[in-house]
Amino acid sequence: MDEVMAAAMLAGADEFIMTFPNGYDTKVGERGASLSGGQRQRISIARALIGNPRILIFDEATSALDNESEKTIQRNMSTILKDRTTLIIEHRLSTIRHADRILVLDQGVIAESGTHEQLMMDKGLYHMLVSQP
């Protein structure tokens, strides 16, 4: 149970889980039917962390999160990513800003590659996307 709770805390799920009548023992229905989209995403992230996998793939893992929940995930990202390979597919640029390497796709082809800082200095497609209001 300690591993489940630690994963839930990293994913920002512990806060809402503890509001349930039975906490971690609450039944939430088939496929989490009684949970919001953001809550389901946080549970999915927590489940992915259990067992300390060497490789993680996050495909739009924060798309349904509100800003506060996304900030919680971002604060915990260094712990989540530590000692593992992680592929993050994301449209929210704030989620990938601290990645070791960012690949920018343009019509299915890698157009640019580098860190956030490198790509911003190159003033290419990534720079344009980040600079949009």
Which residue type, as a one-letter code, is found at position 25? D
Q: State whether 34 and 72 are in the same domain.
A: yes
Residue span of the structural domain in which 17 resides: 2-92
In terms of domains, do 122 and 75 share one?
A: no
| 112 lies in the same domain as 74 | no
Please tell me whether residues 13 and 68 are part of one structural domain.
yes
Bridge partner list, 109 = 106
Look up tokens 């704030």; give the residue.
94
- State the Cα–Cα distance between residues 14 and 46, nearest whole angstrom: 10
Q: Is residue 117 scored above 90 in pLDDT? A: yes
Q: Is the pLDDT assigned to residue 108 strictly greater than 90?
A: yes
Spatial separation of the C-alpha atoms in residues 116 and 18, rounded to whole Å: 36
Q: What is the average per-residue pLDDT within 106-127?
A: 96
Q: Structural domain tally of the chain?
A: 2
83 and 104 belong to one structural domain: no
pLDDT digits (tens, 9 = 90+) for 39-86: 999 999 999 999 889 999 999 888 888 888 888 888 888 888 889 999
Instruction: Please tell me whether residues 84 and 110 are part of one structural domain.
Output: no
Q: Tell me, yes or no, whether 7 and 64 share the same domain.
A: yes
Distances (CA, A) of 32 to 26, 28, 37, 39, 44: 11, 5, 9, 9, 10
CATH of the domain at 76: 3.40.50.300
Same domain, 14 and 56: yes
Residue 72 is predicted with a pLDDT of 85
Assess whether 112 and 48 both reside in one domain. Answer: no
> pLDDT value at position 105?
94
- Predicted local distance difference test score (pLDDT) of residue 69: 84
Do residue 84 and residue 108 come from a single domain?
A: no
Q: What is the pTM of this model?
A: 0.80
pLDDT for 1 beyond 80: no
The Cα–Cα gap between 30 and 79 comes to: 30
Dump pLDDT digits (tens) for 7-36.
999 999 999 999 999 999 998 888 888 899
What pLDDT sits at residue 97? 83
